[in-house]
């Protein structure tokens, strides 16, 4: 029988507990579901010195090995994330020792990934340069600002860019791990694993993070935040970059740059996300027809509604309504 697929998950003090245990449980359940006659997954937790670490929840994780002891083939290398809450500011934790190790170790792994704010460690190690990536919507703007060579999309649950995977906040690490199981062992095993874990089995990478465009609280007096709130209330207006920049009396170029730094998205992508979010709520909460939903959300036509749902969520508006109502 082939050797098991080796998964190494890197943890450090303050890491989110579910960033580590969520994907680990997916791989573990997949191994049990596949049965003893099939190669499964060997999951190992690695820390800087091989000792236990206290996670953000206060739960202590016991490591299997130190970073220096990670030798031989690694099929999947994952790094957890952590954030510090300083007043109203959410700051990703960048563990320098883990970052240095990742620069050397990640290129030797067949597949590399991050959970939640772990994307900031991959970016600090230079592993996301020239790639598309996502992270928790709370820190996406900072990732884009700190690493302009990374194309940050704050909307999807996870993104695969070549051999590098990144995902959004906390539980999305389980969705990403499930997609990895499907890639490694086929969709049938991923489906059986999801059923065993009572997971929603079709939360694909294109599925949007919950209320991404509207979740971050506005800062009073901040022009971009004030505009973001205004956009949510005027989805059927002209929301082109030209119209929005004129509203703030800025050039289109300066406005677009400032908006991306503050939100992690271009004005056009943000507006589409806001309109799509409104369409999702209408489909979930009302019986309005698809033309009515398209008009009320600002998407305009049923064709545009379908195109946005297929591109961003990987499904149709009708199917979305059947699943989520």
- 19 in Cβ contact with 118 (< 8 Å): yes
The pLDDT, as a whole number, for residue 218 is: 53
pTM score: 0.69
- The three-class DSSP label of residue 257 is helix
Question: Bridge partners of 46?
Answer: 10, 65
Give Rg (Cα) of the chain: 21
How many independent structural domains does the chain possess? 2
How is residue 26 written in tokens? Answer: 């997916």
Residue 245, domain extent: 212-324
Residue pair 49/66 in contact (Cβ under 8 Å)? The answer is: yes
Rounded CA-CA distance 146/59 in Å is 31
Question: What average pLDDT does the chain have?
Answer: 90
Torsional sign, CA 94, 96, 101, 104: positive
- The average pLDDT across 164-193 equals 91
Mark whether 151 and 128 lie in a shared domain. yes
Q: Is residue 205 part of a domain?
A: no
pLDDT at position 5: 97
Are 80 and 10 a contacting pair, CB within 8 Å? yes
Using the 3D structure, point to which of 164, 197, 230 is the last residue of a domain. Answer: 197
Buried b / exposed e along 145-163 (16+ C-beta atoms within 10 A): eebeebebbbbbbbbbeee
Q: Calculate what percentage of the chain has a pLDDT beyond 90.
A: 72
Q: Are residues 106 and 156 in the same domain?
A: yes
Split at pLDDT 50, 70, 90, the class of 202 is very low
Residue 89 lies in a domain: yes
Last residue in a domain, options 153, 172, 197: 197
Give the pLDDT band of residue 101 (cuts 50, 70, 90): very high
The pLDDT assigned to 214 comes to 45
179 and 287, same domain (yes or no): no
The residue out of 136, 170, 197 marking a domain boundary is 197
């Amino acid at each position: 029988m082939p050797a098991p697929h080796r998964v190494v998950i890197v943890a450090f003090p303050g890491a989110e507990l579910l960033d580590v245990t969520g994907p680990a449980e997916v791989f573990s359940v997949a191994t049990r579901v596949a049965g003893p006659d099939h190669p499964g997954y060997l999951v190992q937790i690695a820390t800087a010195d091989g000792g236990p670490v206290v996670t953000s929840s206060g739960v202590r994780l016991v490591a299997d090995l130190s970073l220096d002891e990670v030798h031989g083939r690694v099929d999947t290398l994952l790094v957890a994330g952590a954030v510090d809450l300083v007043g109203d500011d959410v700051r990703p934790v960048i563990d320098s020792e883990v970052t240095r190790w990742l620069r050397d170790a990640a290129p030797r792994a067949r597949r590399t990934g991050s959970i939640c704010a772990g994307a900031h460690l991959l970016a600090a190690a230079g592993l996301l340069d020239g790639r598309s990536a996502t992270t928790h919507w709370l820190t996406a703007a900072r990732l884009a600002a700190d690493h302009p060579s990374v194309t940050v999309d704050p909307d999807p649950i996870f993104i695969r860019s070549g051999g590098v995977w990144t995902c959004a906040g906390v539980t999305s690490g389980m969705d990403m791990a499930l997609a990895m199981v499907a890639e490694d062992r086929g969709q049938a095993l991923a489906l059986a694993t999801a059923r065993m874990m009572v997971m929603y089995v079709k939360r694909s990478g294109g599925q949007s993070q919950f209320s991404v465009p509207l979740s971050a609280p506005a800062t009073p007096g901040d022009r971009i935040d004030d505009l973001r709130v205004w956009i949510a209330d005027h989805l059927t207006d002209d929301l082109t970059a030209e119209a929005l920049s004129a509203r703030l009396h800025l050039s289109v170029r300066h406005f677009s740059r400032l908006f991306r730094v503050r939100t992690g998205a271009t004005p056009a992508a943000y507006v589409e996300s806001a309109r799509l979010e409104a369409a999702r709520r209408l489909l979930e909460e009302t019986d309005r027809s698809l033309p009515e939903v398209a008009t009320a959300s600002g998407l305009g036509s049923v064709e545009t509604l379908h195109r946005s749902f297929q591109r961003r969520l990987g499904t149709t508006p009708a199917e979305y309504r059947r699943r989520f109502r």
